[in-house]
Amino acid sequence: MIIVRSTAELGRALARSRELGKSIGYVPTMGALHDGHLALIQEAKRRDDVVVASIFVNPLQFGPNEDFESYPRDEETDLGLCEKVGADIAWLPTAEELFPPGFGLTVAVPRLSSVLCGQGRPTHFAGVTTEMSKILILLAPTAVYLGEKDFQQLVVMRAMVRDLGLPVEVRAVPTVREADGLALSSRNTYLSLAERPIAASLFRILTDLTTQLRTESGEVAAVLAAGRRQLIEAGVHRVEYLELVDSETLDPVPEATSGNRLVAAVRVGTTRLIDNVEV
Amino acid sequence: MIIVRSTAELGRALARSRELGKSIGYVPTMGALHDGHLALIQEAKRRDDVVVASIFVNPLQFGPNEDFESYPRDEETDLGLCEKVGADIAWLPTAEELFPPGFGLTVAVPRLSSVLCGQGRPTHFAGVTTEMSKILILLAPTAVYLGEKDFQQLVVMRAMVRDLGLPVEVRAVPTVREADGLALSSRNTYLSLAERPIAASLFRILTDLTTQLRTESGEVAAVLAAGRRQLIEAGVHRVEYLELVDSETLDPVPEATSGNRLVAAVRVGTTRLIDNVEV
């Protein structure tokens, strides 16, 4: 595995592959890698000739009171994991090069970015799409691999790539979970021992609700209201949202249809968790 | 000259040139072509192997109460002019293809876009950069040619191209003027016979002020205040702004330095005119 930092090094590392017309699979990460990230790299390895994984805690996607400074960072461990699962190039971009002094661009999909997580994190998705549009133009991969766990991010990224006309395929990879169903997330390390089972109740309740939504059509509002109560009863401190949405527009749907997505964001203690299940 | 409408036709028309590694010069226009546009095409012809001129009245860059509907359109005359000055490909994109239903992207450089013309036209430059980022990614020209008349547009476009990392050179072409100094603009056709000499006073006054600014250093605020009075005395109905700015940041400068830009927007009757002169 080649480790590169500057875009010049990245260009040199990929030059031969580009000449030969090899396909390039790209896995963007913020480090603190877990099996969810590794599944993305493995899927890229399976489908593309060359796999580039990036590790970069993107400052643009953190709000002023969020955990940018405290976000877990462990470069050495992350690089070891990238190599182990077969990444060909690990790219550690620098903020200085991606966002030099005077940088003033915003690339956004405002409507899709303002709903759901966007209500509590109004600048988050614009931070993601600004960074990712720049990186996808620079790297020009064949495909970018994103986890379904961050479902809204996946939808926003698909829209950005399509609307900007970037020649990149966005490939979704299913969420990887702990044995008890908790979706893997770098932020799970924030959970206390007592909070851990409460966090696991999120997926269990989402799965139950999905079964109800599939069978009890026409009762969406009632199922969601009951779901919010169940989450609180399970020990969740706050339900930021629990919604059934169209999987492309993210619009709330009044009646469950195949392909809809049940999406949720909750607080367990001070830790914010998100998850989603297809209906 | 080849005339194309769809991006597929455009791709085919350029395929051979791309294979041969020819340089592609791109001139974006909204039609209603005048000698200012033709100077852009001629400069592209001089510097690049293949010249693509587009004609497209971009709906995104018009505000809700602006002249999108009434903006002058004359495709046949425009195509004749493109051919006459040597464009190789005239591209007439469709709104349906550039901005299909569900299009929700915004590409913007908010700070540079909110000052000067951005104060009266808050969505204008985001409309320009959203359209142009998409077109530059799609067309992938070697260089894009822009007139200095729309100076803020030039600065905003340079910032967008740089921040997004697009491999395109932005080339500025000096403003083309009538014999009396009036900067050519498609909107000059809106001027009545009586308004025409008032419109011409804009450039004369800007030139006078520039001479003063070059010689009377430290008196910027006084020179600009006198300039605003002169414009009104010349018959201009409203001075939207008259500022001396840094030519990259567009920040007002308290003291004139070589390379600063004196920029103005005025109303002559109901017609909005802009112009600028280098100090």
Q: Is B161 exposed, middle or buried (0-12, 13-18, 19+ CB in 10 A)?
A: buried
Helix (H, G, I), strand (E, B) or coil at B71: coil
Q: Is A8 on the interface with B (CB under 8 A)?
A: no
What CATH code is assigned to B2-173?
3.40.50.620
| CB-closest option in B111, B159, B164 to A134 | B164
Quote the minimal CA–CA distance from B159 to chain A in Å.
Answer: 8
pLDDT (0 to 100) of residue B216: 73
pLDDT (0 to 100) of residue B42: 98
End-to-end CA distance of chain B: 39
Any idea where the domains of chain A sit in the sequence? 2-173, 186-278
**The two structure tokens encoding residue B216:** 């009377």
Do A164 and B105 count as a contact with CB atoms less than 8 A apart?
Answer: yes
- What's the rounded Cα separation, in Å, for the pair B32 and B71? 8
Establish whether domains B2-173 and B186-273 are of one fold: no
Answer yes or no: are the C-beta atoms of B187 and B150 closer than 8 Å: no
Q: Write out the catalytic residue numbers of A.
A: 37
What CATH code is assigned to B186-273?
3.30.1300.10
- What's the rounded Cα separation, in Å, for the pair A163 and A167? 11
Cβ–Cβ contacts within 10 Å for residue B62, how many? Answer: 18
Q: Is A233 exposed, middle or buried (0-12, 13-18, 19+ CB in 10 A)?
A: exposed
Residue of A10, A99, A105, A139 to mutate, testing the B interface (most B Cβ within 10 Å of its Cβ)? A105
pLDDT (0 to 100) of residue A218: 61
**Residue carrying the six token digits 């399976």:** A46
Do B105 and A107 count as a contact with CB atoms less than 8 A apart?
Answer: yes
Q: Is B95 on the interface with A (CB under 8 A)?
A: no
Decide if B37 is catalytic.
Answer: yes
Query: Number of helices (H) and strands (E), helices first, in chain B?
Result: 10, 10
The domain A186-278 is placed in CATH, from the list 3.40.50.450, 3.30.70.2190, 3.90.550.10, 3.30.1300.10, at 3.30.1300.10
Q: Which of B10, B28, B29, B37 is catalytic?
A: B37
**The two structure tokens encoding residue A113:** 């970015």
- What's the rounded Cα separation, in Å, for the pair B164 and A136? 10
- What's the rounded Cα separation, in Å, for the pair A241 and A238? 9
pLDDT (0 to 100) of residue A201: 98
Q: Is A228 on the interface with B (CB under 8 A)?
A: no
Q: Which residues of chain B have pLDDT under 70?
A: 217-218
Could you read off the pLDDT tens digit of each residue along chain A, which spans 279 residues? 999 999 999 999 999 999 999 999 999 999 999 999 999 999 999 999 999 999 999 999 999 989 999 999 999 999 999 999 999 999 999 999 999 999 999 999 999 999 999 999 999 999 999 999 999 999 999 999 999 999 999 999 999 999 999 999 999 999 999 999 999 999 999 999 999 999 999 999 999 999 999 987 668 999 999 999 999 999 999 999 999 999 999 999 999 999 999 999 999 999 999 999 999
pLDDT (0 to 100) of residue B218: 61
pLDDT (0 to 100) of residue B245: 98
pLDDT (0 to 100) of residue B155: 98
Query: What is the identity of the amino acid at A14?
Result: L
Q: Is A106 on the interface with B (CB under 8 A)?
A: yes
pLDDT (0 to 100) of residue B33: 97
Does the ipTM exceed 0.90?
yes
B159-185 pLDDT, tens digit each: 999 999 999 999 999 999 999 999 999
**Residue carrying the six token digits 């056709």:** B189
- What's the rounded Cα separation, in Å, for the pair B126 and B111? 11
Helix (H, G, I), strand (E, B) or coil at A14: helix
